[in-house]
Amino acid sequence: MIKPMAPPPEPTAGLLRFCLVLSGIAGAVGIVTLALSAHSGISASLETAAQMLLFHAPVFLGIGVLSQIRQVLILPFTTLSMATGLTLFCGDLITNALLGDGLFPMAAPIGGMLLIVSWIALALGALRVVPRQS
């Protein structure tokens, strides 16, 4: 006898909550970094880091909302790789601008590659979007 397929898991608040936290942190740190860049004249790297943070803050929000209305299996990976990439890329730019030394060698390029991977993962995930079952 063939068993019917189990319905997809119910939406959970876990990824949504995590994405909302990431969105808030990225937005807040982006604003602080942009203000520091504007008022201190320390480095153009600060402005780049701020822009990257502010560009990605709404993306985390969108991923969190999408996780609640559609089943996209790659969203947790996308979220983690984007958050890690943003932390490495922007963290390296900010510490280099403020302290004169980055996080570690190749931190920004590794972070940039993770950001690229996360955007590709998001695009690939869009090809496999499945409506959630009620």
DSSP letter for 104, please: S
CA distance linking residue 71 with residue 49, whole number of Å: 31
CA distance linking residue 61 with residue 41, whole number of Å: 31
DSSP state string for 23-55: HHHHHHHHHHHHHHHHHH---HHHHHHHHHHHH
**Quick check: 54 pLDDT over 80?**
yes
69-125 confidence digits (pLDDT tens): 887 888 999 999 999 999 999 999 999 998 888 889 999 999 999 999 999 999 998
Domain ranges of the chain: 13-131
pTM for the full model? 0.83
